[in-house]
Amino acid sequence: MPRVVRTIAAALRLQWREAPVASATSYVLAAVAGLAAAATGWWMRELIDELAAGPGGSAQRAVALVAAAAATTGAAVAIGHLNVYLNDAVRWRVTVAVERTLFAKVTGLSGLRELESPAFQGELRLAQQAALEAPQQLSHLLLAMITAATAIASSIALVWLFMPSFAWILLVAATVELATQLYCSRREAELTEALVQTHRWRDHHRALLLDLQAAKEIRLYGLGAILLDRLLGTLRRAAGRELALSRRTTGIRAGLALMSALVAIVGAVGVVRGTFAGHFQIGDVALFLAAVAGVQAAASALFWELAGAARSVMVFEHYLAIVELPEPAPASNEAPEVPPLRDAIELKDAWFRYGPDAPWVLRGVDLRIPAGSTLGLVGVNGAGKSTLVKLLCRFWELERGAILWDGVDLRELDVTALRRRIAATFQDFMAYDATAADNVGFGDVRHLADRTRIRRIADLSEIDETLAALPDGYDTLLSRTMEPGLEGDHAASGPGTTLSGGQWQRVALARSLFRTDADLMILDEPSSGLDAGAEFRLNQAIARHAAGKTRVLISHRLSALRNADQLAVLRDGAIVEQGSHDELMARGGAYAELFALQARGYHDRRLAAVEAIAG
């Protein structure tokens, strides 16, 4: 119970902090609206008694009572509409606040451990849902509680004033209904949490069926039917469990409705008999029936809000779990500087795995990368090359050993400042739904508006001519799924377009080259989508542009690595060979074998003749 109270308090505190005036006003109006049912019942009692008096009654008082009842009802309706507006205003302020808080926390995560965790992704999905729904639903619950409390209390008080025994009947019936709805709401909230992974798979298959990148293979290999079947399977599993619970709760709620009706009948019969016996006046019958209707309406509204709020309370805990994670690194403008690399980057007995039960990816790696040199990483898929890149960028931390930057452990350096010293083209590079200028300029947002610099770097990666020729040049939106908007420093106005795979790779390479003051440049398969001539020219351009920088190159095309100052061959997470191309070829080991296998594919006895003609 303390945890539930804490969660509710956090959600309501969030709403109050973002919209105190609108929240307070809506609470006051809710209390006023709650009095409407009792006030109307009172007016009707007095009106009926006045009418029952016949010629001895006052027509003027009867008219006044009718007007009061109508005015009360109209005021209640008007208050309801006003509260709808106030709730919309609160909802939007809370929405902005929770989106800011949640995604600031997510982007503040310095590594990838959480983002690559299925459990964290499930919690993040619930947190997103709860952050948007829970404060609003709990606000509605609080308003319903205020309205219901005043409506039920005032109605029962009026009945108590004239018929104390019947007031007890209403009170007991409301209590039983509350307990029943609490039970049903808790079961529904538990089911929502249990179905998180099922709904994640549903969302995954939905996104996959709409993904442009996946569309070609889905149609070529006829995967649409099987993916649709898997999507429907997740829906059927969710529907089966939800309908099973719905059957149970529907039976309970239906029985509760019958009980409420029985209470109303028993009470009404008792009041009618008491009236004929002379214990009550005719208006008391109207008062009791109005009180029953008012209590049931208030309880019904409260219980429906309670059903949604109980679920929200449980999922809002996931939002709190995300936002209460340890604070991220200091803001970039306050972070201490990491000194330029002067000596070397060193890996000392580096061990790493992605989890305590996962296999080791790196096993005691020792490696020294002198400042200003070029290291080529060689190895088959799964050897640990891309993992080493993640560790250099501090997306993950070593389990044992250390990575040193001029003798200082990377873990002792500010992660934001460290990453300012690094530029990278990743194997799984991004193609942003943004303008061409943004897609290059994102490499160094400090110079995002510097169009001259952007074009100069784009020309270096041989993509400037292509981007300049787009419908709106560098202001063209590179997307086929999003419409042009006003985001960024340069607004896209015309229709969006997209690029080929090789062109996107050139843009990604330009993005990494745009960070010109980086000390360490990491290029993970930077030219895999390019033809041989383009790859050769780009390698030459990168060598000129990155002269004096420390470079780590990864490529399955060993010809792209042969000019590296040193090569390191990874196998099963360990370095089995290290040296220059000539040294490793002379050694005749793993590297020489791989190089020979690739060279054999290019060997042609006519090659010498072609080279002679070209010479």
Chunked mean pLDDT (size 10), the chain, 615 residues: 66 80 85 76 70 69 78 82 84 80 78 75 73 69 76 74 69 68 69 71 78 68 79 84 78 71 71 69 70 71 65 71 66 64 93 89 92 89 86 91 93 89 87 88 90 92 91 86 56 68 88 89 77 71 78 83 88 90 88 81 56 49
Of the three residues 274, 291, 323, the one that is the final residue of a domain is: 323
Domain count within the chain: 2
Spell out the residues 6+ positions from residue 513 whose beta carbon is closer than 8 angstroms to its own: 423, 443, 457, 460, 461, 542, 545, 546
Q: Do 271 and 352 share a structural domain?
A: no
Provide the pLDDT for residue 488: 47
| 310 and 351 belong to one structural domain | no
What is the tens place of the pLDDT at every residue in 202-234? 877 787 787 766 776 677 667 788 888 888 888
317 and 357 in a common domain: no
Q: Is residue 493 part of a domain?
A: no
Q: Which residues pair with 551 in a beta bridge?
A: 374, 521
Among 275, 296, 323, which residue terminates a domain?
Answer: 323
Tokens of 396: 């993950």
Cβ–Cβ < 8 Å for 554, 386: yes
Token pair 């609003």: residue: 136
- What one-letter code names the amino acid at 158? L
The answer on 310 and 351 residing in a single domain is no
Classify residue 417: in a domain, yes or no. yes
Interatomic CA distance for residues 277 and 271, integer angstroms: 10
Write the CATH number for 573: 3.40.50.300
Instruction: Tell me, yes or no, whether 158 lies in a domain.
Output: yes
For residue 448, being part of any structural domain is answered with no
Query: Do 209 and 302 belong together in one domain?
Result: yes
Q: Which domain holds residue 19?
A: 2-323
Residue-level pLDDT at 331: 42
Residue 289 to residue 41: CA distance in whole angstroms = 8
Q: Which helix (H) or strand (E) holds 249?
A: helix 224-276
Please report whether residue 277 resides in a domain.
Answer: yes
Could you tell me if residue 78 is inside a domain?
Answer: yes
Looking at the fold, whether 108 and 205 belong to one and the same domain comes out as yes
> What are 255's two structure tokens?
């029985």
Is 347 in the same domain as 310? no
Alpha helices by DSSP H, 442-526: 451-460, 464-468, 501-513
Q: Which residue has the tokens 């990494």?
A: 512
Q: Is the dihedral of CA 302, 303, 304, 310 positive or negative?
A: positive
Nearest to residue 375, comparing CAs of 507, 524, 506?
A: 524
Residues 292 and 358 in one domain: no
* Same-domain check for residues 96 and 32: yes
The CATH number assigned to the domain holding 146 equals: 1.20.1560.10
Separation of alpha carbons 27 and 142, rounded Å = 8
Please report whether residue 263 resides in a domain: yes
**pLDDT number for residue 489:** 43
Looking at residue 337, its amino acid is E
Q: Give domain status of residue 550, yes or no.
A: no
Residue 95's pLDDT is what?
77
Answer yes or no: do 304 and 358 share one domain.
Answer: no
How many Cβ atoms from other residues are within 10 Å of residue 350's Cβ?
23
Residue type, position 156, single letter: I
Whether residue 312 is found in the same domain as residue 378: no
Q: What is the per-residue pLDDT for 239?
A: 83
Could you say which of 288, 323, 358 is where a domain stops? 323
Asked if residue 237 and residue 354 are part of one domain, the reply reads no
Q: How far is CA 158 from the centre of its chain?
A: 50
Query: 425: which 2 tokens?
Result: 């083209």
